[in-house]
Amino acid sequence: MSAADIPSDGPIDQAPAHSKALLAQVAALPALPGVYRYFDAQDQVLYVGKAINLKRRVSSYFQKNHGGTRIGHMVSKIVRMETTVVRSEAEALLLENNLIKVLNPKYNILFRDDKSYPYLKMTGVDATGAAAPGEAPQPQQFSRVAYYRGAVEKKHHYFGPYPSAWAVKEAILLMQKVFRLRTCEDAVFANRTRPCLLYQIKRCSAPCVGHIDAQTYAQDMADAQKFLRGDTQEVLKALEARMMAHAEKLEFEQAAELRNQIAALSNVLHQQSVDNVDDRDVDILAVKVQGGRACVVLAMVRGGRHLGDRPYFPVHVDSGASLEDELGEAPGAVDVETQVLQAFLAQHYLESALPNVLVMSHPVSPALVDALQSQSASRLTVVHQPREQRRVWLEMAQTNVALQLARLLAEEGSQQARTRALAQALDLAQTDLDSLRIECFDISHTAGEATQASCVVFEGHKMQSAQYRRYNIEGITGGDDYAAMRQVLERRYGKLAQALREADAAGTPAAVRLPDLVLIDGGRGQVGIAREVFSALGLDLSVLVGVEKGEGRKVGLEELVFADGREKVYLGADSAALMLVAQIRDEAHRFAITGMRAARAKVRVGGSKLEDIAGVGPKRRARLLQRFGGVRGVALASVEDIASVEGIGRELAEEIHRALH
């Protein structure tokens, strides 16, 4: 039964699980385009959907019993609904995907990526900052090339986005080799008295000490910008014209410099050939679904050069395929690959700049193309069956998406096999290995200084970095690892033990649970301390296991020490279970030692001084430390230099200067 067959004003025949208020709300919906959201009893969003006709679309969910299908599972959990009416299908699509990114619904396909794309940044030139005759060059006169990630500013020039930090750094190296542009910070530029090493190896023209005038440097910068835009032949012709002009004036040294520049540029063009001068900015997208997992590869062409690709792995693909298609509301059957690709396009380009051309492995709906076009400042071309060079790019992307998905499936299969092997080796419950939870602890310090404990979490066959925790250990004798282990375990499990006791006394299920396995990086001594803590808290000792280093502390010879009295176990160097234990143990050690080093550096260089200044939060502090190389560099900087840092005004700069002096 399709949505077209459902009477818009007909009664809603639904099981009593849904309240009369909800069913009345559904019946009262208008026949207008809009977006709807379903919520469960815990007020968690279940699904976000769009509709050309809200009344017809939403009613179709409640018209019949969907059984054990995905729709049936979702509909059975709905307790309330919210809707928003919009003017068109395109507006509904944009709002839908904005809400998906914000709400992370359980039954939608989700693309999660916290990192923004990097750009190549060329700073703007301030003509008012020109040096007076006889004065040293000012950094404001000479544009700087830098790696950048974040919000763009109109006063600077940005090129990209690039698929990776490596691609940006390669482009910066290219700018240094061919156009010899500066990359140093303004504070470094202003304090140079002689050229740096980059000048010696012909990677910079040394504007900091006056080896090139502002006008000539500006010409090199303009050529670099043209090159990044893909105007390579124009740049070559301009350089040749300048070389011939110098030769005619018998200025052979300047002509030789330009000759070398032309040779370097020609060599680069030979190594990184411009594939198609007609296509300057193109995104190529390929999608593949296999084994319940999906992958989208986004390849980027900027300035006619292929810059590489980046894979994305969405979640909720099994349960998140378009529910509207299952309801039969789409005019034709849409395969899962197309659904995944459409979800990526809608969610990704809400916040990312659109290129002029999109080349895709699967066709997408015209409504989606119209919505993307409304987001683009220029005309957008969408190609599904490309030819010539575009076809080559798409075939490359399709090869890469197959390789990326095969790698993911192999890694997940291997990790699941390791989890199963560990559960078998330690006699853990194997009914639901996906929920098997392991927590691992490690202590780190340097000669008793800046002691920290780390706790890392393994669940769902992978490390859960969002659940990692660090604990600053205080009030103990420096270097006492046993006391540090006692403190961290008491802090970690004290409240959990209390919650378990209260739930047991009340005869109700506990809202929290003890991990299935608690790993301690250490032997009998550390395990003995852990046993004392767990005994005092009334927790199960069988979950406590120590990872004791083997003879000579060699990797692969570790033995497992049990807190409940069982004999030590050696799993074998080639054991999948031991590989998983070592992976978790090493991650706990890495997490602990990086935190300890940061805390130690903060103590030694006075990093807390910046934290104590009102108005200097984490972002501003990071910018200051990056600009001046540390707190000491900030202390040596002038008020003017501090005020030049992004996000720091004159008043705050004066306050920072006073606080550090």
314-337 confidence digits (pLDDT tens): 877 764 445 555 454 444 456 888
The length of the chain, given as a count of residues:
661
Predicted confidence at residue 286, as pLDDT, reads: 93
**Distance from C-alpha of 411 to C-alpha of 471, rounded to nearest angstrom:** 31
Eight-state DSSP code of residue 57: H
Determine contact, residues 439/519, Cβ cutoff 8 Å: yes
Q: Per-residue pLDDT averaged across 599-620, rounded?
A: 65
Average pLDDT over residues 390-416: 86
Which residues have CB under 8 Å from 348's CB, separation 6+? 111, 298, 312
CA dist 342 and 363 (Å) reads: 9
Q: Which residues pair with 649 in a beta bridge?
A: none
The candidate with the shortest Cα–Cα distance to 261, out of 177, 142, 199, is 177
Does residue 31 contact residue 55 with C-beta atoms inside 8 Å?
yes
DSSP helix/strand/coil, 449: strand
List residues bridging with 443 in a β-sheet: 453
What CATH code would you report for 282-406? 3.30.420
pLDDT in tens, 454-496: 999 999 888 898 899 999 888 888 778 899 899 999 999 998 9
Helix, strand, coil fractions of the chain, as percent rounded to 5:
50, 15, 35
Residue 39 main-chain phi, psi, to 5 deg: -125, 150
**What are the strands, taking DSSP E only, across 247-304?**
282-290, 293-302
Mean pLDDT of the region 273-286: 69
* C-alpha–C-alpha distance, residues 221 and 243, integer Å: 17
pLDDT of residue 602: 54
CATH class of the 606-660 domain in this structure: mainly alpha
pLDDT of residue 328: 47
Q: Which two tokens stand for residue 222?
A: 């303009």
DSSP state of 471: E
- Using pLDDT thresholds of 50, 70 and 90, give the confidence band for residue 441: very high
Question: Which residue, among 442, 444, 472, has the nearest Cα to 456 in the 3D structure?
Answer: 442
Q: What are the boundaries of each domain within the chain?
A: 3-88, 119-229, 282-406, 433-598, 606-660
| CB contact at 8 A, 208 and 184 | yes
For residues 82-110, average pLDDT: 85
Predicted confidence at residue 275, as pLDDT, reads: 44
pLDDT of residue 12: 45
The amino acid sitting at 593 is I
Rg (CA), the chain: 31
The class (CATH top level) of 3-88 is alpha beta
Region 22-40: mean pLDDT is 89
What is the rounded distance in angstroms from the CA atom of residue 547 to the CA atom of residue 524? Answer: 9
Contact (Cβ atoms closer than 8 angstroms) between residue 581 and residue 558: yes
Residue 293 bridge partners (DSSP) = 290
CA-angle at 374, arms to 371 and 378, nearest 5°: 130
Which tokens go with 123?
């700073």
- Do domains 282-406 and 606-660 share one topology? The answer is no
Domain 433-598 adopts which CATH fold? Nucleotidyltransferase; domain 5 (3.30.420)
Q: Distance between alpha carbon 506 and the CA centroid of its chain, in Å? A: 43
Which amino acid is it at 556?
Answer: G
How far is residue 661's CA from residue 654's CA, in Å, rounded to a whole number?
A: 11
Mean pLDDT of 352-372: 86
Least confident range from 9-18, 415-424, 435-444, 503-512: namely 9-18
Q: How confident is the model at residue 536 (pLDDT cuts 50, 70, 90)?
A: very high
Q: Measure the CA–CA gap between 382 and 371, rounded to whole angstroms.
A: 12
Please give the pLDDT value at position 247: 78
Query: Which of 130-139, 176-185, 632-641 has the highest mean predicted lDDT (pLDDT)?
Result: 176-185
When pLDDT is averaged across residues 93-113 and rounded to a whole number, the result is 82
Q: What is the DSSP letter of 123?
A: P
Q: What is the pLDDT, as a whole number, of residue 518? A: 93
For 202-230, the pLDDT digits (tens) are: 889 899 988 888 888 888 888 888 877 77
